[in-house]
């Protein structure tokens, strides 16, 4: 009985008709992606995606065993240039917009890194020559240099905590030194003893004024504001 079933099944499969053609794959559409500026379509801008469908191929009829009918004198229809409504609708591209979201608020600023170590002070330059005997120059005034003259360190108040560079005016000179750990260097080299106002300025920060008094034995500081 088992052999009979196998033979019958094989015979049935042998009698099934085979397909004469193979289905073709559908044509792929054309996809275009463009940047969309802010406007009516996207308030904050985005991406414009255009999908253009491809033309569908005309299916090929399968061959049949029926003989072709005899030709007749029926006139062929005159082709027109106007496509059908279905074909026109299929040819229209599909446009979609992928819009950006509303920008968020800026995040908080990160904390400042650690300041590096202060470098060594450079060597003093050579003294200039005197202009004439009646006008003492630097060499003539060198004997009047205060014993405590030199580079001084001025510590700034807390409002200069995040400041990296300031403008310092002292002894009729204006410089822009770097601030490290709220400390700024002030040059008072070869100056006579006396009072020297030091003005520290930075935009959007209240100015700081300190008066340095140089004496032969020590340096005192008086904060004005």
pLDDT tens digit sequence for 170-206: 988 899 999 999 999 999 999 999 999 999 999 999 9
pLDDT of residue 47: 84
Domain span at 215:
144-223
Domain membership of residue 105 (yes or no) is no
The segment with the largest mean pLDDT, out of 43-47, 56-60, 116-120, 177-181, is 177-181
Could you tell me if 94 and 150 lie in one domain?
no
Domain membership of residue 49 (yes or no) is yes
Domain membership of residue 74 (yes or no) is no
Task: Tell me the three state secondary structure of residue 24.
Answer: coil
Domain-ending residue, one of 100, 122, 157? 100
pLDDT of residue 14: 40
Number of domains forming the structure of the chain: 2
Global pTM reads 0.39
**Between 83 and 106, where is the model more confident?**
106
CA distance 159 to 179: 12
CA distance 37 to 19: 53
**Is 95:48 a contact under the CB 8 Å cutoff?**
yes
**Is 213:200 a contact under the CB 8 Å cutoff?**
no
Domain membership of residue 91 (yes or no) is yes
**Percent helix / strand / coil, the chain, rounded to 5:** 15, 30, 55
- Share the mean pLDDT of the chain: 74
Please, what sign has the CA dihedral across residues 86, 88, 90, 95?
negative
In this structure, what CATH number is given to the domain that contains residue 198?
A: 2.60.40
Could you tell me if 210 and 157 lie in one domain?
yes
- For the chain, the residue count is 225
Phi, psi (deg, nearest 5) at residue 8: -65, -45
**pLDDT above 80 for 113:** no
pLDDT tens digit sequence for 15-31: 444 444 445 566 777 88
């Amino acid at each position: 009985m088992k052999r009979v079933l196998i033979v019958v099944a094989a015979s049935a499969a042998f009698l099934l008709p085979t397909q004469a053609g193979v289905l073709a794959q559908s044509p792929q559409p054309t996809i275009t992606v463009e940047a969309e500026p802010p406007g009516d379509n996207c308030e904050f801008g985005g991406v414009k995606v255009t999908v253009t469908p491809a033309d569908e191929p005309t299916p090929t009829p399968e061959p049949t065993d029926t003989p072709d009918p005899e030709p007749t004198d029926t006139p062929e229809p005159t082709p027109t240039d106007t496509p059908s409504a279905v074909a026109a609708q299929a040819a229209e591209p599909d446009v979609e917009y992928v819009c950006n979201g509303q920008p968020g608020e800026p995040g908080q600023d990160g904390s400042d890194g650690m300041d590096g170590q202060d470098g060594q002070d450079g060597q003093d330059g050579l003294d200039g020559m005197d202009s004439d005997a009646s006008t003492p120059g630097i060499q003539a005034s060198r004997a009047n240099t205060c014993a405590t003259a030199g580079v001084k360190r001025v510590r700034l108040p807390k409002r200069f905590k995040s400041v990296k560079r300031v403008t310092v005016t002292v002894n009729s000179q204006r410089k822009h030194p770097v601030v490290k750990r709220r400390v700024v260097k002030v040059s008072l080299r070869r100056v006579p003893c006396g009072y020297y106002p030091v003005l520290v300025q930075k935009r959007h920060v209240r100015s700081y004024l300190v008066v340095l008094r140089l004496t032969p034995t020590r340096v005192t500081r008086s904060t004005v504001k």
